[in-house]
Amino acid sequence: MFQADWPAPLHVKTAISTRQGGVSLGPYAGLNLGSHVSDAAQSVEQNRLLFRQQAQMPAEPLWLNQVHGTDCVWLEQSDFSVGPVCADASTTKSKAVVSVVLTADCLPVLFCDAAGTQVAAAHAGWRGLVDGVLEQTLAQFAEPHQVMAWLGPAIGPKAFEVGDEVRQAFIAKDARAGAAFVAIPNKSGKWLADLYQLACLRLTAAGLTQIFGGGFCTFTEESRFYSYRRDGQTGRMASCIWLD
């Protein structure tokens, strides 16, 4: 487990899990926090408890049913009593309420405003990113230009191979996105995509000037992170944020 390295107010707390530790076995070996990947339910429950205790969280994170969409829910208003809410981002102004997203190659992004009165967490796979999940999350803040963002562990620019349809989808939204794709020699129509660069482009276009994090690669850092692209059947990491 580690914390976001950014100049957020001291009462803004973060916790980002790795695959290290935990009780899961087989392809999920380690601290798998995903309950939807066919790991033993008892192992996931124990892992979540271990993670919560290690991070000294004030409450159980409010886990989402992530669908690679763009919806951002307010945790004060969403009803989790009947199970996870379908969304790919959440935000809150309430203290001791934990926003969380699960990833294993997709990009987790944490947000807070300058005063530390509101926080958010977003899950940005390429589909959500191109469709505007980061912009939808920022739209929940009264003054988006006063928000800072931290980019968590995702597949790196030397490992994320995509087809031409992905590149065209981003360029259709913003021609500058073409710079985030490098053609793969001897593979017609195949590109290496830089999720971090694409996210930064979207965030800066939305008015953000404080963007931190990045530089991870879930695919190549096998001992540290789960990677769906690398392993197929695998676990999930969590990126959490809350107001103390």
**Looking at residue 184, what is its pLDDT?**
97
For 166-175, what is the mean pLDDT?
97
> Strand runs (DSSP E) across 17-77, as ranges?
64-65, 72-74
Q: What are phi and psi of 235, to 5 degrees?
A: -90, -170
The span from the CA of 172 to the CA of 182, in Å, is 17
| Per-chain mean pLDDT for the chain | 97
Report the topology of domain 12-155+204-243. CNF1/YfiH-like putative cysteine hydrolases (3.60.140)
Which stretches within the chain are classed as H helix? 41-55, 126-131, 133-138, 164-173, 195-205, 228-231
The 10s digit of each residue's pLDDT in 115-168 is 999 999 999 999 999 999 999 999 999 999 999 999 999 999 999 999 999 999
**Looking at residue 113, what is its pLDDT?**
98
The span from the CA of 177 to the CA of 193, in Å, is 10
The 10s digit of each residue's pLDDT in 227-243 is 999 999 999 999 999 99
The DSSP 8-state label assigned to residue 232 in this structure reads S
The 10s digit of each residue's pLDDT in 6-27 is 999 999 999 999 999 999 999 9
For 17, 85, 145, the CA distances from 203, given in Å and listed in that order, are 24, 25, 10
Residues 95, 209 contacting (CB under 8 angstroms) = no
On the CB side of 183, CA atoms within 13 Å amount to 5
Q: What is the CA radius of gyration of the chain?
A: 17
Q: Which residue has 């102004």 as its token pair?
A: 93
pTM above threshold 0.95: yes
Q: What are phi and psi of 44, to 5 degrees?
A: -60, -45
The 10s digit of each residue's pLDDT in 184-240 is 999 999 999 999 999 999 999 999 999 999 999 999 999 999 999 999 999 999 999
Residue 92 identity (one-letter amino acid): T
The 10s digit of each residue's pLDDT in 45-77 is 999 999 999 999 999 999 999 999 999 999 988
**Looking at residue 82, what is its pLDDT?**
87
**Looking at residue 234, what is its pLDDT?**
98
The 10s digit of each residue's pLDDT in 80-114 is 988 899 999 999 999 999 999 999 999 999 999 99
Which stretches within 6-116 are classed as H helix? 41-55
